[in-house]
């Protein structure tokens, strides 16, 4: 299965799910935000393309707040991740990104030190 985003319009995320292989029936998917399933996810057959389905996910306004909100799209049966989408809002985002970059740099420095130490110890 392959999921491609088409747009977000009027608070609804939309995408196209293409199904291949032996299981071509209507797929059961779920969308999670902070491990909580969203209500109202709609999957309908795309009459113009065989083995394709239109996916519509209404985004509850109560979930939108300052910062980064990530929504995970996966199959309901086996939990296979099909994709995700992220919504970024508010001014504090710039500080969040800088803090995240600082953390990534610190982790990279730690990995470089550990790698150098490993190289010295194995010589």
pLDDT band for position 65 (cuts 50, 70, 90): confident
Task: Determine the Cα–Cα distance for residues 88 and 81; give it in Å rounded to an integer.
Answer: 21
pLDDT band for position 88 (cuts 50, 70, 90): confident
Burial of 60 (0-12, 13-18, 19+ CB in 10 A): exposed
For every residue of 66-88, DSSP letters joined together read SEEEEEEEEETTT--EEEEEEEE
pTM over 0.75: no
| Residues 71/59, Cβ–Cβ less than 8 Å | yes
């Amino acid at each position: 299965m392959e999921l491609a985003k088409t747009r977000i319009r009027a608070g609804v995320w939309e995408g196209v799910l293409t199904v291949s292989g032996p299981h071509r029936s209507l797929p059961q998917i779920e969308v999670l935000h902070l491990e909580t399933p969203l209500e109202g996810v709609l999957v309908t057959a795309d009459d113009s393309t065989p083995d394709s389905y239109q996916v519509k996910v209404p985004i509850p306004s109560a979930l939108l707040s300052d910062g980064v909100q990530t929504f995970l799209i996966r199959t309901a049966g086996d939990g296979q991740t099909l994709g995700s989408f992220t919504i970024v809002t508010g001014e504090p985002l710039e500080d969040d990104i800088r803090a995240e970059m600082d953390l990534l740099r610190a982790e990279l420095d730690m990995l470089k030190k550990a790698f150098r130490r490993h190289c010295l110890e194995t010589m």
